[in-house]
Amino acid sequence: MKKIWLMIVALMFTAAAFAQIDAPVRWSYAAKRVSPTEAVVLVKATIEPGWHIYSQNVKDGGPIATNFIFSPAKNYTVIGKPAEPKAIVKYEEVFKMNVSYFENSVIFQQKVKLKAAGAVIVKGKVEYMTCNDRKCLPPDEVEFNVAVPVK
Query: CA-to-CA distance for 130 and 54, rounded, in angstroms?
Result: 7
Which residue type, as a one-letter code, is found at position 4? I
3-class SS at 1? coil
pLDDT of residue 4: 44
- The CATH homologous superfamily to which domain 24-148 belongs is Thiol:disulfide interchange protein DsbD, N-terminal domain (2.60.40.1250)
Residue 89's DSSP bridge partners are 100
Mean confidence (pLDDT) of the chain? 88
- Percent of the chain past pLDDT 90, that is, above it, reads 75
pLDDT at 2 over 80: no
pLDDT at 140 over 80: yes
21 pLDDT band, cuts 50/70/90, is low
Query: CA-to-CA distance for 35 and 104, rounded, in angstroms?
Result: 31
pLDDT of residue 119: 85
Domain boundaries in the chain? 24-148
